[in-house]
Amino acid sequence: MKYHFKDLGLSNTKEMFAKANKEGYSVPAFNFNNLEQLQGIIEACVEMGSPVILQVSTGARSYIGKEMLPWLAKAATAYVEASGSDIPVALHLDHGPNFEEAKDCIEYGFSSVMIDASHHPYDENVKESKEVADFAHKHDVTVEAELGVLAGVEDDVVAEKHIYTQPDEVEDFVKKTGVDSLAIAIGTSHGAHKFKPGDKPQIRLDILKEIEQRIPGFPIVLHGSSSVPKKFVDMINKFGGQIADAIGIPDEQLREASKSAVSKINVDTDGRLAFTAGIREVLATKPGEFDPRKYVGPAKNYMKDYYKEKIVSVFGSEGAYKKGTPRK
Ligand code: G3H
Ligand code: 13P
Ligand code: ZN
């Protein structure tokens, strides 16, 4: 073990999810790739008193660098402490592709990992998920696995259609694998194009209900849950971008899911849109600007302000912990 997550001030997701379930909210899991996105996320969550899962894909981890990443996480927990807040912070591997990557993350300070073997046959998914859970639990690290396949691109696997999670499989799956949370497919999908123009954006809350009845109180995770705010898509297009037919999940449906056993909701695309809109706006309206702080800074603030709104409109996690005072 190079670092244990506790030495970085991080928490696993066990108590986070137990409290979220009991109090009827869900924990935001926000992806990041760089310092300013991390600042936007942590500042928003500190100011709102919301727990947070800092989520990193395999691609993001190699972009940041595996040696630097633990210290960025440590920087985030130091910020929380200095602000006077007590929000728990997890560092989580998003869509872990195999045992080796999950193990390496655990050895480099992650407090939570996902093993995503959902595109494999059921028995293979059980085997891989159990292998990761057995190793992770030796180090007090929590594990998320997935059953069902989201439409669109997921881990380089392209699925034409959703393969919804089958409620009659979930109990057996969590029992056999020993994982701590379960990602399910109920009609959400990754990216900015979740529905076709003319479709009614609707996720299958009926399947979610059935799943909850099979595994009462067990933490459920929703991927692909960006709302794709029109205001950022419009800004991007106004300032030289080209994003057509972008449609996300309506906030009210996610809010409904948050009140149930859904304990973690993943959002990446919305942050990317807010960040890109901010950069495009400055570069388009101030063509002489070349100080990165002057365009990345506003981009960070768009992302931060949006996540603060989302904590109220979707997660319901405001004030679950002590709010902190912003720090310079
Ligand atoms: O679900 C995937 C996340 O949005 C991360 O995407 O692999 O482009 O970093 P990425
Ligand atoms: P979005 O693309 O909807 O933000 O989903 C992100 C996600 O599920 C990361 O795992
Ligand atoms: Zn995902």
- pTM (2 d.p.): 0.98
In-domain check, residue 59: yes
User: Helix count (H) and strand count (E) of the chain?
Assistant: 12, 10
Q: What is the pLDDT along the chain (328 residues), one digit of tens a residue?
A: 999 999 999 999 999 999 999 999 999 999 999 999 999 999 999 999 999 999 999 999 999 999 999 999 999 999 999 999 999 999 999 999 999 999 999 999 999 999 999 999 999 999 999 999 999 999 999 999 999 999 887 666 677 778 999 999 999 999 999 999 999 999 999 999 999 999 999 999 999 999 999 999 999 999 999 999 999 999 999 999 999 999 999 999 999 999 988 999 999 999 999 999 999 999 999 999 999 999 999 999 999 999 999 999 999 999 999 999 999 8
What lies within 8 Å, CB to CB, of 315 at 6+ separation is: 25, 26, 27, 28, 50, 258, 265
131: exposed, middle or buried (Cβ count in 10 Å: 0-12, 13-18, 19+): middle
Please give the number of the atom of ligand 1 that sits closest to the Cα of 190: 1
Residue nearest atom 4 in ligand 1 by C-alpha distance: 268
Tell me the CA end-to-end span of the chain in Å, nearest whole number: 33
Distance CA 252, CA 51 (A): 21
What local confidence, expressed as pLDDT, does residue 158 receive?
Answer: 72
Q: What is the CATH number of the domain that holds 55?
A: 3.20.20.70
Residue positions forming the annotated binding site: 95, 116, 146, 190-191, 223-226, 266-269
What local confidence, expressed as pLDDT, does residue 156 receive?
Answer: 67
Bridge partners for 115 per DSSP: 96, 145
In-domain check, residue 319: no
In-domain check, residue 156: yes
Range of the domain at 188: 5-229+249-268+307-314
Distance CA 43, CA 268 (A): 17
Residue nearest atom 5 in ligand 1 by C-alpha distance: 57
Residue positions forming the annotated binding site for Zn(2+): 95, 116, 146, 190, 223
In-domain check, residue 292: no
The total number of structural domains in the chain stands at: 1
Per-residue burial over 2-26, b = 16 or more CB atoms within 10 Å of its CB, e = otherwise: ebebeebbbbbbbebbebbbeeebb
In-domain check, residue 275: no
In-domain check, residue 22: yes
In-domain check, residue 209: yes
Task: Given the residues 7, 86, 94, 270, select the one marked as catalytic.
Answer: 94
Between helix 99-107 and helix 122-138 the angle, nearest 10°, is: 20
Phi, psi for residue 144 in degrees, rounded to 5 = -110, 135
The CA 171 to ligand 2 mean position distance, Å, reads 25
**Among 73, 19, 22, residue whose Cα is nearest residue 50:** 19
What local confidence, expressed as pLDDT, does residue 159 receive?
Answer: 73
Residue 94 annotated to the active site? yes
31: Cβ below 6 Å to ligand 2? Answer: yes
In-domain check, residue 302: no
What local confidence, expressed as pLDDT, does residue 155 receive?
Answer: 61
55: Cβ below 6 Å to ligand 1? Answer: no
Distance CA 115, CA 125 (A): 9
Q: Which two tokens stand for residue 232?
A: 């950022």
Identify the three-state secondary structure at position 249.
Answer: coil
Distance CA 256, CA 97 (A): 30
118: Cβ below 6 Å to ligand 1? Answer: no
